[in-house]
Amino acid sequence: MKIDDGQRFFSIFSAVGPSAVAGESPVEHHLKLRVRYHEVDGQGRVHHAQYLNYFERGRVEMLRELGHSYKEMEASGLMLVVRQMTIEYLFPAEFDDELTLTTRVEKSRGARIQHRYRLLRERDQQPIVAAASEIACVDRQGNVRRLPGWLQQPS
């Protein structure tokens, strides 16, 4: 739980992750976003809660690129719920900024998926936020369920 200042989260993101070690190509998705007016707060910057919505969109679009629909997954009775989220805010994004979100699956086994996120400002590659989340698969009653096969990483 301690976050060591000398060991910045962002650097971890770009490091070689476990999936890469295993010789698999890590699942990574890139999404362009433009900051909308209502996402900005009274400081003229993207409100810090807003980035979680960007990450969510990254996960949905990554699934779509892999040929799956999160909407259909929910319709089938399985939901993905966020269990843990850690965000480092590195630099403020502003209204109308074009951003690039990289969403990466770090690990996907059993009932859980670990993602990492990196958000850069497009024009100069300025890092904006870096984040990690753990997501669990549950059914409509909230019981933990194994991820569908297509969401499991080969072991």
- Over the window 84 to 123, marking each residue x when it contacts a second copy by CB under 8 A and - when it does not, the resulting string is xxxxxx--x-xxx---------------------------
Question: Is 96 a known active-site residue?
Answer: no
Asked if residue 66 binds a second copy (CB under 8 A), the reply is no
Tell whether the torsion through CA atoms of 68, 21, 110 and 116 is positive or negative: negative
Stretch that binds a second copy, among 52-60, 102-110, 117-125, 143-151 (CB under 8 A): 52-60
| Whether 135 contacts 116, CB under 8 Å | no
Amino acid (one-letter) located at 43:
Q
For a second copy, the closer CB: 25 or 141: 141
For a second copy, the closer CB: 24 or 98: 98
For a second copy, the closer CB: 95 or 153: 95
- Over the window 5 to 44, marking each residue x when it contacts a second copy by CB under 8 A and - when it does not, the resulting string is --x-x--x-----------------------xxx-xxxxx
Interaction site with a second copy (CB under 8 A): 1, 3-4, 7, 9, 12, 36-38, 40-45, 47-50, 52-53, 56-57, 60, 69-71, 74, 79, 81-89, 92, 94-96, 132, 134, 142
